[in-house]
Every structure is written in C-alpha cells, then in structure tokens.
Structure 1
C-alpha cells in the first residue's frame, strides 16, 4: 500500500461525499421495512412487455449498428425527437442546443465540471436536491442557500443574497433551481415567480440551471412554462431525463442549453464517457416512435396521483397537530415539517426500529438547517403499505412530541 495514500487522492476526490440517501437506502433493504426514503419510480410503471418485442425487432432491423459508438452529443434521431417535443411547446431550439447525457446526474456533474472552480459560489434553494449539491461541491463549489416559500425560491431573498455577495466582491457562477415539483419539497413555482427569478438572473448577469426531472409527471393544475422558454438571452441551461417518465435503468438524460456552454460540455463529456450508450438511445427512439410512451406515461401519472392521494388522506387522519406537509401537484415527493424543537434524525432511528423509513430533511439544506423536516416519496410504495407506513410514522412522531414536551417542562 502507498504510504501517503491520502496525499495521492485529488482535491476533487476529497471533496466528494457519500450520498446520505444512498447510505439510508442500505438500511431499508429489509423487505419488512416500508420505505418512503428512495426517489424510486414504481416498478409497475416500467413498460416491460412493450420493450420485449421492441428490442428484438430493433436488433433484427439494425443489427450491429445499435452496439457501436455514436456521437458524444447523442444519437441524432433521439435528439431530433427531444427537440420536437420542446418545439411543440413553442420553445425555440436546435440540435446545437441539445446534448444527450448518461442520466441527468451526469448532466449535473458536467455542469459542475465546466462551470465551477474551487471556491466558486453557487446559489440553490433551502432545501434543494442533494444530488445537485453534491455534484457542485465535488468541484469545490461553496453553496449559498436561499429560503423557499410556498411558491419556491423566494425572489426577494434571492436578490438580497445576490446583493450580499456583490458587496463581498463575489459573483455566483449560477443559480440552481428545480421549478416543477421540487425535490425534496414537491413545490412548483408559478409563472410569475419564474419570471421574477429570471429577471434577477438577467439583472445580475448570472446563469440559471433549471433541473426538470419531474415536469411531465403532473396530476393536477396547469403546466407552467419552462424557464428556458421564458428566457430570451441564453441565461438558462435546462436538464431533462427519462428516469421518471420512462425507466431510470436506461440512464438517459439531456441538457438543453446555450450553444457556447454546450460546446464546453461536449468536450468535458468526451473525457467522461465518449458517448452515452448507443443501445439505450436506440431503444428510446423506437419507444418514442411506437406511440406507447404517451399511453404509458398517462398510466404512470394516474398511478402516482392515486398514491399521493392515499398518502395525503392518511396523513390528514393520523398526523398529530403541529405537523404540516406540502401538497404537490405532481412529481414523487412531499415534505413534512415538524415542530421546531424536534429533530428528524432522532425520529429516523426510532422509525427504522418500527420498520418504516424516510429521508431526514437536513441533508437537503446546504446551510445545515432543516433538522425538523423530512422527505417522503409516494411513488414507490403501494397503497396498502403506504397506509400502514404513515400510521407507524404518525405514532412515532406523536410519541416523540409528548417526550420532547415533557423534557421542556421538566
């Protein structure tokens, strides 16, 4: 063994931290545990039967071509289909604006790789997606959090943060937002808030990174325009993925962004993987063309809608007074806020003993806050288990509230 192995590692590798959620998931492998912890799509939503014949036909008709390398930017036919999807929504874009990635997590990593130097500041919501925070911190980013309200990141507090940073001589590299059914809160930004934040990005000349993994999974309410669509000055870079609307195992995502930024991302991607696997991209092309994509997505949306309703209904019945939660119009998550004097991490260990799991909210706060919050996933667990899991969780919370209150007045 090398004597100074620690000194052999790069600064980037030393910046990388284990995913708190992945570590939690190890504790939930027991089939008896009812887990609301993972961000997992329902296996029932995967179009297994449709893909069986589709892949066989693809191999017969295209043969070795689907097993060969392809362009770093992605299979042209897939990029054209994705562009048509955006163009049908009225978004102006071309092939130069779109790169296929190996999952949207690679997109986040490439954004960090291309834009972040050690010590640079990146602005995100309080709370915000752990995978995004981790990807940017790996390249040395200092995360500056902006609190959220019921409409997402506060525009007023964002401007206050931008002014505060400017007074310190700091210009942030970009603002990271998840405008639709945000992870972890499930909150959606209305159009008015998106415009406010975009105007601030223009005013302070800061790039905006818009993460859209759940946008298509809407149960109710009106779809809000993408920030990329609202922009007219190359200030927005958008990340998309098939993980929540097709299958995460394919690992297909994409970046829709300004051509000048994409040129750098393509070069960075070449050193990472040369190209996203041709085989899975070709499957996606066939699937999108088959007409099954739309019908299966509708079934997925209906399933998640039902599961969300069941969970919310049971929470209304069981959760003790003083506990509040979000009511997402889509996506996969809702967020619980406990009384301020409670600690979700204490509850987590007690919940695991009762064979129910969640993610503590503090891992989504770049400033170390959120100790009295937790994230629950409603897409994965069936209705029967969800009802039982919420009942167990409510009892644990109620018992902890009584204990905490007794300690305060002791």
Structure 2
C-alpha cells in the first residue's frame, strides 16, 4: 500500500517585519500628492514649486554637457570624490567670496540637491528624540527630513520678519535643541525675507546659548527689487555654527540635482561620511557640466533675465488677487523668490476647499501642512513663476470661482 505524502493544509506565510517607526509616522508630501492629482494639462497649477521651463538656458546647458562628454568622457563618466569635483567647488567658493562670505573650496561639500544636504545634516547632527527648532510656517520637506530622523520639531513664534529672537532664546534655554532651521530669504512657503537686524539677533542667540543654524538659501539670487540682505553666516557670532545650503535648482535647472553645503570642518566631514553611505558622490557628469557652464556663460546675467520674467509674473498675480480672494483676505508682496502667502478670513478652510477649486481646473497648496504647531486653516501658498501672466490671470479667475462659488 502506497502512503500518500502528507497533504496537510499549507501553513500561512508569516508577515514580514514591520516598517521602521519613522516610516510609519512620517507622511508623504501633500505638495507631491496635489501635483499628481492636478497633472492634467488643462489645470493651471499654482501648487508646485516649479521653476518655469521656458526660462531654462537649454542651449547653454546642452553645450556644457556636450563639451564634457566630448572632451572629458573618461572623467565625466567615472566615479568622483565624495566632496565634489574640485573645479566646481573652486567656482562655488569664488561665488560665495564675491558675495561677502570668504570661502575656500575645502569649505564645501557638493550634494545631490540641497534637499540631500538637509538629510546629511540630519544624519550627522540628530539622534532620535533630539529637538529641532523651525520657522512657523516651515518648508515642508524640511519637516519630513527632521521627522524621519526621529527629531522632536518645535516652531519658534515669530512675526512678518521671521522667528522672534527672544522667543528663540527662551526655547533654546528650555528645550536644549540641536539646531534652528531657517530659509531667511524669500522663504518657502511665505516668500518673506528676514531683515538684517533680525538675522544678527538670531546669530547672537545661537552664539550665546549654543545652537547650530541651518541657513537654507535656494531662492536668494531671485531678487526683483530691494537690496540684498547678507547671509546669517557672514555674522561673526554665527561663523562657527552656521551651515549654509545652496542650490542650482532655481537658477540653472532642478533636473541637474546639484546643491552644496558650506559648514565648519568637523560637521562637514561628518556629512561627507553620511554622503558616502547614501550615494558615494553626486553624478560626475552633472558637476562637470555645471562647472563648464559657470566658466563659459554668465550665470548672473541669466539669473537677472529669469528674475525679470518672474517679477512680471508676480505682478500679474498681485494685480489679479483682489478679485480672486474673499473680502477680508490678506497676502504679502515678496521682493523675490517664487511664492506668495495668503490668508483667507474665517470660516474659510483651504484644505476643505481644495477639491472644489481643483474642479475648476486650478490648484494651490493649503497652508496647514507647513506648520509644525497648530496650523492656520485659512492659509494657502501660491507659486507665481511657472505660468505666463495670461495664464496667471485666468488661473486666479478660476480660483475665485472655486472659492466664492460663482
């Protein structure tokens, strides 16, 4: 008699181990979610922080890539040092020095966008449970980085000029944070700029109480009017405790994914180690192309042309806003950058209203996700650089129809 093999009911497979706690608790970007929903070509999208593709120097960037691939292929297609290509770091150092912050190439670490610089700093500085101080409201992707690091994120009370120095000092004494994160020039999401006196006061607090300042400056070159305000990093109080982040995303092309950080030596070395673990180095060909562009073309002249286009688009938005937003709304007038911040009166809730507005083929970003503390439900961010003035005028007409119901 043949005995059949055991045919017991198959065991249920055990579930794999769970995701890390930080991955379960930190959500995705609402901005990215909105962009996915509003990708239809008929939507006029004020939600993205997207530079206008019609002002990219396509010919100059293409020529730079052709040069490095034709003349330097062995170098361009090879691994590079973690710190970045020396030619690019030399050119970046010269640009910083010309703007009042004496910088050597060795002060800089090239990163894959300044967003990576933030992640590297979180790896180098933050242990789970450490406290981070941020502006209110704050750049959304910074909140994600600090959340993934397991940090406790607290907002510094402030006003139209940015974080309040006295409130910052009180929080530093009480909470013992590791760092303050700020976008002091044409901030994302509000478009505001911290005046020189406020910057000096924040630097003094950091020196007096012991605090790192992470100064993120992706928009500073996009000034349309007014005088340039020196970096916090130029203040004597802050020189040994400020990390300055920069990027080509808003002035050359975001697809290059080229950023950098300028930091004191010990912290910079720690960030380099973190970068080795993340991606070894930023793509060599992109770095060499950017260096070629800076050598052969006038980036400052290109940025001036871009700023002229963006100023016209900002002005178109400012002109059309009174007819688009409910009576009692307020908004700012940024001197540069890419964003305008508006506040609707009670009981308007911009998160609840968004589906109704999207149905009119226009989109914005509700303000709530940008708050580390209690959000203001009536706020919203509008990006004014991606569309033409005519498209902006039509988009705000649709926005008014969605908000006002007619």
TM-score category by the smaller chain?
Answer: over 0.9
What is the CA distance between 1:15 and its match in structure 2?
A: 4.2
Query: Matched residue of 1:335: which SS?
Result: strand
Query: Matched residue of 2:340: which SS?
Result: strand
1:122 has 2:132 as partner = yes
Q: Which residue of 2 aligns with 1:408?
A: none
Q: Deviations over 1:69-94 (max 9, x none)?
A: 11100001100100000111221222
Q: Deviations over 1:346-396 (max 9, x none)?
A: 111110111110000000001141211000000101111110111221233
1:92 has 2:102 as partner = yes
Contact 1:36 1:376 in 2 (8 A): yes
CA distance, structure 1, for counterparts of residue 244 and residue 236 of structure 2: 11
Q: Which residue of 1 aligns with 2:377?
A: 371
1:359 has 2:365 as partner = yes
1:177 to 168, 178, 182: 182
CA distance, structure 2, for counterparts of residue 268 and residue 343 of structure 1: 41
1:217 has 2:222 as partner = yes
Q: Which residue of 2 aligns with 1:107?
A: 117
Q: Which residue of 2 aligns with 1:201?
A: 206
Q: Deviations over 1:281-301 (max 9, x none)?
A: 000001001124222211111
Aligned CA distance change for structure 1 residues 231 and 137 (closer, same or farther; 3 Å): farther
Contact 1:127 1:147 in 2 (8 A): no
CA distance, structure 1, for counterparts of residue 116 and residue 100 of structure 2: 27
1:24 has 2:34 as partner = yes
What is the CA distance between 1:2 and its match in structure 2?
A: 6.6
CA distance, structure 2, for counterparts of residue 262 and residue 3 of structure 1: 44
Instruction: Give the number of the structure whose alpha-carbon radius of gyration is greater.
Output: 2
CA distance, structure 2, for counterparts of residue 316 and residue 282 of structure 1: 46
Contact 1:15 1:139 in 2 (8 A): no
Q: Deviations over 1:307-336 (max 9, x none)?
A: 000100111344332101111000000001
Unpaired runs of 5+ in structure 1? 401-410
TM-score normalised by the chain length of structure 1 = 0.93
CA distance, structure 1, for counterparts of residue 250 and residue 67 of structure 2: 25
1:136 has 2:146 as partner = yes
Q: Deviations over 1:228-278 (max 9, x none)?
A: 111444110111000001000000000011111001000000000000000
Contact 1:122 1:175 in 2 (8 A): yes
Deviates more, 1:261-270 or 1:362-371: 362-371
Q: Which residue of 1 aligns with 2:348?
A: 342
Q: Give the paired residue count.
A: 394
Q: Deviations over 1:166-214 (max 9, x none)?
A: 2xxx310100110000000000001000011111111210110101010
CA distance, structure 1, for counterparts of residue 216 and residue 15 of structure 2: 39
Contact 1:345 1:371 in 2 (8 A): yes
1:187 has 2:192 as partner = yes
Aligned CA distance change for structure 1 residues 189 and 2 (closer, same or farther; 3 Å): farther
CA distance, structure 1, for counterparts of residue 83 and residue 31 of structure 2: 30
Query: Matched residue of 1:126: which SS?
Result: coil
What is the CA distance between 1:224 and its match in structure 2?
A: 0.2
Q: Which residue of 2 aligns with 1:4?
A: 15
Deviates more, 1:24-33 or 1:337-346: 337-346
Contact 2:357 2:403 in 1 (8 A): no
Measured on the aligned residues, the alpha-carbon RMSD in Å equals 1.6
Q: Which residue of 2 aligns with 1:68?
A: 78
Contact 1:15 1:140 in 2 (8 A): no
Aligned CA distance change for structure 1 residues 140 and 399 (closer, same or farther; 3 Å): same
Query: Matched residue of 1:380: which SS?
Result: coil
Q: Which residue of 1 aligns with 2:289?
A: 283
